[in-house]
Amino acid sequence: MKELQKHLRLFSLRSSATFNDVKAAYRRLAKEWHPDRFVDDPGMRRIAEDRIKEINIAYDFLVRHFSQKRFSLIDPDGKVENTEPVVWQPLERDLFWTNLQADFLLPVLYEAFREFGVKDLAWSTYRRLLRGTWEGYAQKLYHSLDVETETRTKGDRTQVRFTYRYTHEADNTRLGLEEGPDLVGAVGRFLASPRFTHEVRPNLARIYFQQFQLHEITQTEIRSHQVTAEGRADRLDIGGATINQVMGLLYKAMSDAGVDRIFWNTGTKIMFGTTGWSLRSAGQLVRALIEGEGRQFRIRIQSKPLTYGRVRESPLSDLGRGREDEQRIRQHILARLRGG
């Protein structure tokens, strides 16, 4: 309890604060004490680096506290079960709501989709989107669909919207959501399963932070050469960073290089997005493939032309644009890790 009050005081919050209050306070403090704001003042920069560490430690603790408080299976004395019932109900045809917190819903959706057979799953925690591909029979016809979910917070509710898109033009029957594969039902069944109750639910905070949360490489790690970068002819070698830090670094570099619609999966170590994409023109699919384990990774960046979201054979005129995307991302990564 003393540790809880200590972290709440750091965020200038009372014991009655909600998780949304914690997130708002964290964003405010992280912006106020970001070390990059004090580039010209080494003394204040060192103070800010220590302060941001305290802020991150407090935020991690409070996230775990709120997750355990809401989803723990037993009370602190181990006697009374206080599990809050999970709600999963429709609002509209393709819109559902749940009382699961939006920050911890992504692992739940990911596991439910994976068990249902959705493949090539990727996610964006910043945009709260999950995307994958489903293939199978619905209405006695074979279909190939891109599946996407978007979550939004409305008061105490988290709203989840499902979207299907056909990946093969040969599909001659357009399914409505209620006629398509029962992904919504798959999520509901997973929430009601013993595996969710006894394995996933008590560990939502840990799963979220280990797999779905990207982490920044600090300026202290860069200046002390704890994290290193070496450019090769075909790749970038990164040493001393975790996979979540490498993904965070890639996200910033790709964003700075003009890549949008970015998704990633820290488990399969892939990040991808698009440049120059629109409904009326071709763009580029930019992929970062990460190899290695522990704290030694190799990043290979590839860029391929797109048409309406699908990869196609590239005319020679498109190859130069792809190489420019790759080079730009490499330069952003090296510049950040070398203090440029």
Per-residue pLDDT tens digits for 216-240 = 887 778 878 888 888 888 889 999 9
Rounded (10°) CA dihedral 198, 203, 207, 213 = 140
- In this prediction, residue 297 carries a pLDDT of 95
118 and 192 belong to one structural domain: yes
pLDDT at 122: 92
Q: Tell me, yes or no, whether 227 and 318 share the same domain.
A: yes
327 domain-assigned: yes
Domain identity same for 93 and 132: yes
Give CA–CA dist 163/311, Å, rounded: 21
What CATH number is associated with residue 182?
A: 3.30.310.220
Q: DSSP assignment, residue 38?
A: G
List residues bridging with 284 in a β-sheet: 275, 305
Domain total for the chain? 3
Same structural domain, 45 and 112: no
What pLDDT does residue 79 have? 46
Among residues 191, 117, 137, the alpha carbon closest in space to that of 160 is found at: 191
* Residue 167 and residue 64 share a domain: no
* 61 and 94 assigned to the same domain: no
**pLDDT the model gives residue 309:** 43
Write the DSSP assignment of 275-338 as a string of letters.
Answer: ES--SSS--EEEEEEEEEETTEEEEEEEEEEEETTEE-PPPHHHHHHHHHHHHHHHHHHHHHHT
Asked whether residue 149 falls in the same domain as residue 242, the answer is: no
Residues 199 and 223 in one domain: no
* CB-CB contact of 240 with 221 (8 Å): yes
- Cβ-count burial 202-233 (b if 16+ within 10 Å, e if not): bbbbebbbebbbbbbbbbbbbeeeebebeeee
Domain boundary, last residue among 189, 210, 231: 210
Q: How far is CA 339 from CA 51, 190, 332, 335, in A?
A: 21, 46, 11, 6
Segments in the chain below pLDDT 50 = 72-81, 308-319, 340
Query: Is 201 inside a domain boundary?
Result: yes
Q: Give the pLDDT confidence score for residue 275 in this predicted structure.
A: 82
Q: Taking the model in full, what pTM does it have?
A: 0.72
Domain encompassing residue 32: 2-71
231 shares a domain with 149: no
Report pLDDT digits (tens) over 154-168: 877 899 998 888 776
In a domain, 82, yes or no: no
134 and 200, same domain (yes or no): yes
Do 137 and 171 contact (CB within 8 A), yes or no?
no
Whether 22 and 66 have beta carbons less than 8 Å apart is answered as: yes
Task: Write out the two tokens for 171.
Answer: 């599909």
The residue length of the chain stands at 340
Is 76 a domain residue? no
Among the candidates 17, 46, 71, a domain finishes at 71
Same domain for 93 and 193?
yes
**Domain shared by 202 and 95, yes or no:** yes
The secondary structure of residue 83, as a DSSP letter, is P
Q: In this predicted structure, what is the pLDDT of residue 83?
A: 58
Give the number of other Cβ atoms within 10 Å of residue 286's Cβ.
27
Domain boundary among 210, 241, 259: 210
pLDDT for the residue 278: 58
